[in-house]
Structure 1
């Protein structure tokens, strides 16, 4: 059955209105000029999970997908399935008093990868705006740590706003309407608070660094690393680090807070060991802390190298925090007084984490927003102050113990002085007795020394004789060495003569030319034995070339190898085997077959035949032009 185009359009319009009825059932939030900000919660937000991650904005607005939006049953919705894309929509009725007031929507969680807002204008046409931790900070609408989307030219009426969210972290979707005036007021106060917070951290760092340089206690240095890790973690979570430290490198947002949280845990545990003297006062806790540091490091490396999404599980930090807290309680019960400030500091930090956890789960709605959102930061500040007290208390106790030890030392020194006087008197008497004995012994030693002097004079005369003999032996060795050098030279000359006259057997020839370098050296000396002359420009000066034993003309830079213009030019077999081949053919006067050459040299018979043909041809030419004064030997075939 066929429909006309107008009928199809009418049917589609009716179906759209039918399926869009649930959309109009959503509660519209009325916003007038008296409302400066509003947080959307519970069923004021509707959600759609896109498990395929393929739906576009046009697909979401289709009637079939519109029906799939469900009312939010949490105080703040979240992306429970972090592999999916989530769509959120809210419905707002703007009062006519808001027409001239600029406003915006704001998202709080700075660990959100991508947020796209679809904002309608007066004609109902939507404009998409994109922000998030995966996008360069400088591309944001405002240079602010949160994600803001401007409501463009609002007029009186009802509007539906869509938001598309995708993140590998578990985030709370907090959508807030704010007027632009209130946003500026809020942002200025918030950044002032951040300045105070991070300023205090810097002051604590500088103070404890100076203390470390003064007293050389490692606990001060570990404490500096710990509070710096706290600062980097808070900056990463708040979005301050992305704004000021790496605005053009959003990929660091995936690793920054996880790395900072790891450093925070590790340095907190190491600081706990050092401050509480765990190795001396609680050996079991000392081992437990070390094992925890090792396991936490392995977990961090696994997250860093294999699955960065595991950084989102921040609750694992409750384990090192609990171990440090338990160690502090145990050591405090053992009588170590500085641990009291440590225990109090970690109790407050536990409170801050509990408030933050309850807020994330939606149970902190009864608390003021300022307290629930900044609870961890405030508790960190209080903890830093109390830990500083703990360090100071430890130093005070150590100084007191040092003063008591000094007093005890002074008393002991007085006792030692009295003992020393009595011992000195006894020693003086013993010295007198021993002096008399020493004098008697010294006389005996003098007599013995005279005897030794006489013997030493005899040894000196014998040494003189030995030195003369050694010098004569050295002179004879020098003469023998010269004779050996001359003998070696004569042997080389005889061997060269035998090689040239083809008197050597195969083993002797192999010993004379064992490798490529010796063959190149022989060719070089044979080729240029009279003088060097460039084949291009006839220049006679040269320098060493790139190839061993080649020569380069210093005038035209032409480089000539030792193989050029020899029987071995364009040689495709090892040069030392080519030498053997020439030697064997010459020594056999050309009677040796290519098969025999192949067996002796380990080369294919066809290659041996080709080389044998070339060499035999050179032998025939030499035989025709031979004169009586021409030297004999296989080397005459080379050039």
Structure 2
């Protein structure tokens, strides 16, 4: 009853479905999972009674594949309280999941396999939809277990949703309508700013067009829309598309920031920082593209250019009092907020944030940013017009003043040019002298570096010689110790140098016991792994763990193993003629215990008298193994 109660305490939660439930999102303890690090487990093994209780509870709001080299098996339990009599689907949300296998029973209880994922052509999907759907084979009354195998090179959120087909169609139409609105706005903004670029010839419009088009490409890549409509037969492009789009977003975003806010003039240091960041971002992009595209997954690095752009806008608006920057700051605020909410949602820390807001937070942020950046551009245009009018008035006034000051200015310029020429010549002479000094210093440094390299080579050579001497000395010590153990009777301290602790004794027993290979005594399997106790071996097939002491003279031993070794050693050297009082004195163990163990060893010596004949001083080690083993 206790075992049954304990099992019920950790039983998987059953989800009850009836006609009033159009959809259900599985979360938290409604999903159990099992990691397959070997990637070799089959559905037959996973669904067997052996593995039934090995599934673990999901600790997060949504499960994740933390180890991206492993396969993960997920199981949900559904109870249909009555026949639904309508088609239903199981849907997975994360569009970058590489491979999903579903195993769902039909009306006869036979499990049917279905496959999908971002690694397959889009045309191979059951429904031509950006998410992954599986048709539920049976909706008759009863309890069902659904199994899903997920493997992905990227870490994904395993969001499993049960939906009726009616709800799926309604949800899909609404979602695609929203995407159409979003991408339509991108096209409209791009076309409007293209006309402005043609009319005004200001580069900021061109960079803004490239920026919002990059936003559109990134959103299409992450939403699966690009895979559906742009490259449905080339799933490998999914591994590069979002990374390329992110690079264009951060690069064109920073360049647009420089052009719109005149960062080079208003904040030279921030301009240098942005230039360095653009070079670093290009280097990282090239590494991801040509060396390891797996690095594209580090999308959180976009926090750096986003923060730099946000801070630049705040600085120029607050410190330089540049009015168009206020819309820029407001737009980046919404983008920054959307980025933070998206990260919190991905990490599973925002359980109280509505799912749609958390999932589409970055899209909302991009949308608001595009609108507000357009306001910033318009505000800048109005400011430029006002500046041009003021400049025209100032030009007319200045032309009148210039006529009077032209001659005096020219004379002053001639004097200043002469002075500046002398300063430049003097600085050139100083630079020449500094270059000569630097050349001398470089020559000294080169000579010192050469000397240091020679010393380093000599030290390295000496270290190699010392290491060889240490290895030789250590080998000689071990040989001398073995020789003394086999040649003369040692006291316990000397004997302990060879077998100082439990691990050294267990290692000696394991090497001798499985000298000719391991074989499970239960099933005969020859494959094993480490057991709970050091040097024990556990069968990988039947999980039986064999103790290193099993079938040895030390089985059920109750005294320290190194003292038991020494007791066997003394008994063998004295041919069983040493008294239990003498053993008690040498080992520091009670006389009665010594007598018991001595009798056991003496019995084994009598039984193996013929086998031990002529083996010499090392024959004591032949006593430890069971003769049958």
TM score, norm. by length of structure 2: 0.62
The alignment status of 1:69 with 2:55, answered yes or no, reads: yes
Match of 2:140 among 143, 155, 171: 155
Distance in 2 (CA, whole Å) between partners of 1:41 and 1:97 is 24
* 1:214 equivalent in structure 2: 199
How far did 1:367 drift?
A: 2.3
Q: 1:163 to 1:23 in 2, by over 3 A?
A: farther
CA RMSD in angstroms, aligned pairs only: 2.1
Give the Å deviation of 1:286: 0.6
Q: How far apart in 1 are the matches of 2:164 and 2:321?
A: 57
Check conservation: 2:83, 2:139, Cα contact below 8 A.
no
Are residues 126 and 23 of structure 1, via their aligned partners in 2, closer, same or farther at CA, if it must alter by over 3 Å? farther
Is residue 93 of structure 1 aligned with residue 79 of structure 2? yes
Partner of 1:44: 30
Aligned match for 1:34, one of 9, 20, 26: 20
Worse-superposed segment, 306-315 or 343-352: 306-315
CA apart distance, 1:368: 2.2
2:289 is aligned with 1:304: yes
Q: Is the 8 A contact 1:30 1:94 kept in 2?
A: yes
The one of 257, 277, 286 aligned to 1:292: 277
Report deviation, 1:415. 5.4
Match of 1:375 in 2: 361
Structure 1 moving runs of 4+ over 3 Å? 21-24, 412-420
1:176-212 residue CA offsets vs partner (Å, 9 max, x unmatched): 0000001001100110000000000000000111111
Which residue of the partner structure matches residue 232 of structure 1?
Answer: 217
Give how far 1:410 is off. 2.0
Aligned counterparts, 1:92-111, within 5 A: 92-98=78-84, 100-111=85-96
Distance (Å, rounded) in 1 between the aligned partners of 2:344 and 2:398: 61
Measure, in 2, the Cα distance between the counterparts of 1:350 and 1:415: 50
Indicate conservation of the 8 Å contact 1:117/1:163, yes or no.
yes
Q: Is 1:135 aligned to 2:107, yes or no? A: no
Cα deviation code 1:430-487 (max 9, x no counterpart): xxxxxxxxxxxxxxxxxxxxxxxxxxxxxxxxxxxxxxxxxxxxxxxxxxxxxxxxxx
Aligned partners of 2:88 and 2:254: how far apart in 1?
47
Post-superposition shift, 1:64? 2.9
Structure 1: how far apart are the matches of 2:360 and 2:279?
Answer: 31
Q: Write the distance in 1 (CA, Å) between the matches of 2:169 and 2:77.
A: 25
How many residue pairs get aligned? The number is 402
Gaps of 5+ in 2: 407-629
2:44 to 46, 58, 83: 58
Deviations for 1:398-430, whole angstroms, at most 9, x for unmatched residues?
11111101011122345568999xxxxxxxxxx
SS of the equivalent of 1:53 reads coil
* Whole-Å separation in 1 of the counterparts to 2:83 and 2:51: 34
Determine if contact 1:23/1:66 at 8 Å carries over to the other structure.
no
In 1, distance between residues paired with 2:173 and 2:212? 25
2:34 touches 2:73 (CA, 8 Å); kept in 1? Answer: yes
Map Cα deviations across residues 236-283 of structure 1 (whole Å, 9 max, x no partner).
110000000000000001111111111111111111111111111111
Task: Say if 2:245 is the partner of 1:263.
Answer: no
CA distance 1:292–1:24, shift in 2 (3 Å): closer
TM-score (norm 1): 0.61
State the distance in 1 between where 2:96 and 2:383 align: 44
In structure 2, how many angstroms separate the alpha carbons of the residues matched to 1:182 and 1:133?
24
The 8 Å contact of residues 75 and 146 in structure 2, kept in 1 or not, is answered as yes
Q: Match for 2:267 among 282, 301, 310?
A: 282
Alignment partner, residue 619 of structure 2: none
Kept in 2, the 8 Å contact 1:39–1:174? The answer is yes
Q: Secondary structure at the match of 1:141?
A: coil
Q: Determine which of 374, 390, 394 is the counterpart of 1:388.
A: 374
SS in 2 for 1:364: coil
